Amino acid sequence: MPLSIVILAAGQGKRMKSDLPKVLQPLAGRPLLSHVLETAKSLDADAIHVVYGHGGDRVREQLKHEPVSWVLQAEQLGTGHAVAQAMPAIPDDHKVLILYGDVPLIRKDSLQKLLDGSSEKSLGLLTVILADPTGYGRIVRDNAGNVVRIVEQKDANTKERAINEGNSGLMAMPAGLLRKWLAALRNDNSQGEYYLTDVIVMAVREGLKIAAVVAPSETEVLGVNDKVQLAQLEGALRAQRAAELMLQGVTLADPARIDIRGNVTVGRDVFIDVNVVMVGDVALGDRVRIGPNNYLKDCRIDADTEIHPNCVVDRATIGPRNLIGPFARIRPESVLHEDVHIGNFVEVKKSDIGAGSKANHLTYLGDATVGRKVNVGAGTVTVNYDGVNKHRTEIGDGAFVGSGSMLVAPLKVGANANTGAGSTITKDAPEGKLTLARARQVTIDGWRRPEKKGS
Ligand code: UD1
Ligand code: CA
Fold type of domain 227-435: UDP N-Acetylglucosamine Acyltransferase; domain 1 (2.160.10)
Q: Would residue 361 show up in a list of annotated catalytic residues for this protein?
A: yes
Tell me: the pLDDT tens digits for 377-420? Answer: 999 999 999 999 999 999 999 999 999 999 999 999 999 999 99
In CATH, what number does 3-221 get?
3.90.550.10
> Using CB atoms within 10 A of its CB, is residue 433 exposed (0-12), middle (13-18) or buried (19+)?
exposed
Determine if the peptide bond prior to 21 is cis (ω within 30°): no
Q: Which ligand is nearest to the CA of 128?
A: 1
The reported pLDDT for the residue numbered 211 is: 98
H or E segment at 386? Answer: none
Taking 90 as the threshold, does the pLDDT of residue 9 lie above it?
yes
Mean pLDDT of 305-331: 98
At residue 238, does pLDDT exceed 80?
yes
Judge whether 103 and 111 are in contact, CB under 8 Å.
Answer: no
Ligand 1: atom nearest CA of 101 is 30
Average pLDDT, stretch 319-336?
98
In the chain, count of helices (H) and strands (E)? 9, 36
Mean per-residue pLDDT for 211-240?
94
Q: What is the pLDDT of residue 454?
A: 86
Binding-site members for UDP-N-acetyl-alpha-D-glucosamine are 8-11, 22, 73, 78-79, 100-102, 137, 152, 167, 225, 331, 349, 364, 375
Mean pLDDT of 237-255: 96
CA of 267 relative to ligand 2 center, distance in Å: 46
- Which region, left, alpha or beta, applies to residue 245 given φ > 0 means left and ψ of -120 to 50 means alpha? alpha
pLDDT in tens, 65-109: 999 999 999 999 999 999 999 999 999 999 999 999 999 999 999
- Top-confidence residue, 13 or 45: 45
Q: Is the CB of 25 inside a 6 Å radius of any atom of ligand 1?
A: no
185 in contact with ligand 1, CB cutoff 6 A: no
**d(C-alpha 275, C-alpha 252), whole Å:** 10
DSSP for 399-416 reads -EEPTT-EEESSEEE-TT
**Among the options 35, 81, 308, 361, which is catalytic?**
361
Question: What confidence category does residue 182 fall into, taking pLDDT thresholds of 50, 70 and 90?
Answer: very high
pLDDT at 12: 80
Give the list of residues 6+ apart from residue 445 with CB closer than 8 angstroms, or none. none
- Tell me the whole-structure pTM to 2 decimals: 0.85
Cα(35)–Cα(39) distance, rounded to whole angstroms? 7
**Pocket flag, ligand 1, residue 76 (CB < 6 Å):** yes
Measured in Å, residue 354 CA sits from the centre of ligand 2 at 60
- Nearest to residue 35, comparing CAs of 47, 46, 22, 45? 22
- Binding-site positions for Mg(2+) read 102, 225
Domain regions of the chain by residue span: 3-221, 227-435
How far does the centroid of ligand 2 lie from the alpha carbon of residue 78, in Å?
Answer: 7
| Residue closest to 289 by CA, chosen among 276, 306, 273, 274 | 306
Contact 7, 59 (CB under 8 A): no
Find residue 171's DSSP bridge partners: 98, 125
Yes or no: say if 102 and 233 are a contact pair by the CB < 8 Å rule: no
pLDDT at 96: 98
| In contact, 9 and 102? CB cutoff 8 Å | yes
The whole-number average pLDDT for the span 238-266 is 95
Using CA atoms, how far residue 182 sits from 80, 87, 127, 200, in Å, is 6, 9, 21, 11
> Band of the pLDDT at 13, cuts 50, 70, 90?
confident
Predicted local confidence at residue 315, as pLDDT: 98
CA-derived radius of gyration, the chain: 31
SS3 category, 25: coil
pLDDT in tens, 31-68: 999 999 999 999 999 999 999 997 889 999 999 999 99
Q: Is the CB of 34 under 6 A from ligand 1?
A: no
d(CA 204, CA 52): 30
CB 350 within 8 A of CB 344: no
Q: Is 267 in the pocket of ligand 1 (CB under 6 A)?
A: no
Residues shown for the chain? 455
> What is the model's pLDDT at position 359?
98
Residues of the chain with pLDDT > 90: what percent?
A: 97
What value does the mean pLDDT of the chain take? 96
Give me ligand 2 centre to Cα 77, in Å. Answer: 9
